[in-house]
Structures are given as structure tokens and as C-alpha cells.
Chain A
């Protein structure tokens, strides 16, 4: 089973993964192939590119048959096939937000909304302070009411655990609705 931690560069995703993982976060890279003409960050037009994106992940063994993997991955504009692979079978996602750079998480929020994946917005408290109120952040992100928004501390296991539990409650609610749905 897996969950995904998304967010802008340097927001603390790897820290968050490490806070709850039973192993030091491992790094893998994902080769992403994007087909079709596009203009990349350098302004060059390319028809096919292969880029690599670093991805950190951790692991939590719950029991003999359940292992939870937590993938931390950059919330960048270029969501390739890798992202679709990543969320296939995922229980949900945590979008980690740095209030000094709220717009960094827009692409991730957009992506999860369109993929109909349960997600939680977790505002990382740097130095224990919060630069904006949660309601303001909710408004800035134009979050729908059912998306929870919480504060967290990516360095602290208990805070991360609480955030994961908020997400898992969302995932559970969805599973219960689906299991009650006719024809399933």
C-alpha cells in the first residue's frame, strides 16, 4: 500500500518521509518520457524528452501482510506518465505546503483534484510559526470543502503520523462509500 507526499522543491517532503519511515529514506530516480512538442524550462522546443526526477521513499511495516510505502516526489509542472503510475493504487496524497511559497503546490493540488484521489493539504510549520491562517490558505488554494487542511511539522514523527491518519480517514471514507455502492 502506498501514499504519496507531494509539494514544491525544498518544502520538506524527504524530511516528512524520514520522520515516519522505519528506514532512512531511499532515493530512486524515475525516468519520465514526455511525448509531443513542448517548450521546456529553457525555452527550447523539443518533441520528445526523457528527464529524470529524484524520488525519495520510506517504508512502514504494519504487520506481516501490510507494508506502507511513502513516496515523496516533486510537485512540478511537468507531470509525466510516472505520476499516473505513482498514484495508481495509492490510497491518497499529502500535499505539503510552505506558506512562504504557497503557489509551489498549485500543480499538485490541481493534479490530485482531477485524478479524484483523496488528498490532504498539510501546512508545514517552519520554526513553529504559521505565516497565514489555514482559512486563508484554503481560500488561496481554492480547496473544496471536503479536502482537509491541517498544520504539521515535517520533522516530528507524531505530527506526521497525525497527518497520515487524517489522510487515511479520507481513504477509508472513500472505500466505505465504494463498497456500499451498487454493483460492487
Chain B
């Protein structure tokens, strides 16, 4: 907290506030600490949201719907890019790599596009970890690589 700010508050709120302000612990830095020199915060594109209501994982495959394809020219840059990339089925992870945006950000944006009806999840959301037949097929597939 700067001395100027403390004085202003004291002037406004009187002596009690002044005493209180002295006992305040130093405030947190005014912004997040970024470990690199990137001037843009990772979650800028998502207006600060780090989660999505849509149940999507990094490996979830998405594809553009007809509505998404026709809306694409009107969408914001990143959203338009995603719908273009998803003209063929593509994973959230691959979108993130292609657009050089953090995977967590890509997921939020994909969630928005699914909510808007512009993207579809190509793969139904069964719990793959409990699916014996699916894992057996995977094992056979890996064996024959």
C-alpha cells in the first residue's frame, strides 16, 4: 500500500481508520505473478474464466456443426479459428497446440462454442476407465502397432 493511499483513507475515515490501516498486512501484489514476459494473461481470452460448464477433457474430440461453420466469419478471431480447425474432428489438445494458446484456455473456448451450438463433441462421454470392452480393443490395437 502506498503512503499516499494510506493518507487519503485516513483523511476520509479519521483516526480509527488510520490505526486500522497501519495494522493491515501489506497488500497482495496488484496483479498475478507471471513467470515469463508474456504481456497477455493466459485467461485474457476467456475473460478470466478458467473453467467451463461443459464436461470436456483435453483429449475430447470436437467438430464444427453446420451452425458453427456458417457463424465462423462472424465470430471473434480465436473462436473463428477454432471452428475452422474443427471442420475435421480434432481434440482440444490439438487446437491448443495449433493456436498456441494454453490448453486450459482452449477448453473454456471450446466449452463456449459447444454451449452456443457451434461445436459438437464427436465422442460420447462414457467413462472410458470403466469400459472393459473398449480397453480390450485398445490393448489389441496397441499390440498391433
Please indicate whether A and B come from the same complex rather than being unrelated chains.
Answer: yes
Q: A-side interface residues toward B, CB under 8 Å?
A: 1-2, 20, 26-33, 40, 44, 46-52, 55, 57, 59-60, 62-63, 65-69, 71, 81-82, 85-86, 88-91, 157, 161, 164-165, 168-169, 171-172, 174-176, 178-179, 184
A91→B139 CA distance, assembly (Å): 12
CA–CA, A174 and B140, complex, Å = 17
Q: Do A85 and B32 form a contact, CB below 8 Å, given A31-B42, A169-B139?
A: no
Stretch at the interface among B14-22, B33-41, B68-76: B33-41
Task: List A contacts of B127 (CB < 8 A).
Answer: 89
6 residue pairs of the A-B complex, CB under 8 angstroms, read A29-B103, A46-B29, A62-B142, A66-B141, A71-B59, A89-B128
Chain A residue with Cβ nearest B43: A31
When distances are taken between beta carbons in the complex, the residues of chain B under 8 Å from A49 are: 32-33, 35
Smallest Cβ distance from B91 to chain A, in angstroms?
A: 7
Contact A69/B59 with A165-B142, A175-B131, A175-B132 known, Cβ cut-off 8 Å: yes
Residues 112-130 of chain B: 1 if any A CB is under 8 Å from the residue's CB, otherwise 0? 0000000000010001111
Known: A69-B59, A179-B130. A60 touches B93 (CB 8 A): no
Cα–Cα distance between A161 and B91 once the two chains are bound (Å): 22
Q: Is B135 an interface residue (CB 8 A)?
A: yes
Residues from chain A with a CB closer than 8 A to the CB of B41 are: 50
Question: Is B62 part of the binding interface, using a Cβ–Cβ cutoff of 8 Å?
Answer: no
Determine whether B67 belongs to the interface, using a CB cutoff of 8 Å to chain A. no
Contact A178 B32 (CB under 8 A): no
Q: A1-B138, A52-B35, A175-B130 are in contact. Are A65 and B123 (CB under 8 A)?
A: yes
> Chain B residue with minimal CB distance to A71?
B58
Using Cβ atoms and an 8 Å threshold, which residues of chain B touch A169?
A: 139
Residue B24 CB within 8 A of the other chain = no
CB-defined contacts of A88 to chain B, threshold 8 Å: 57
Distance A28 CA – B132 CA, assembled complex (angstroms): 31
> Are B103 and A172 in contact (CB-based, < 8 A)?
no
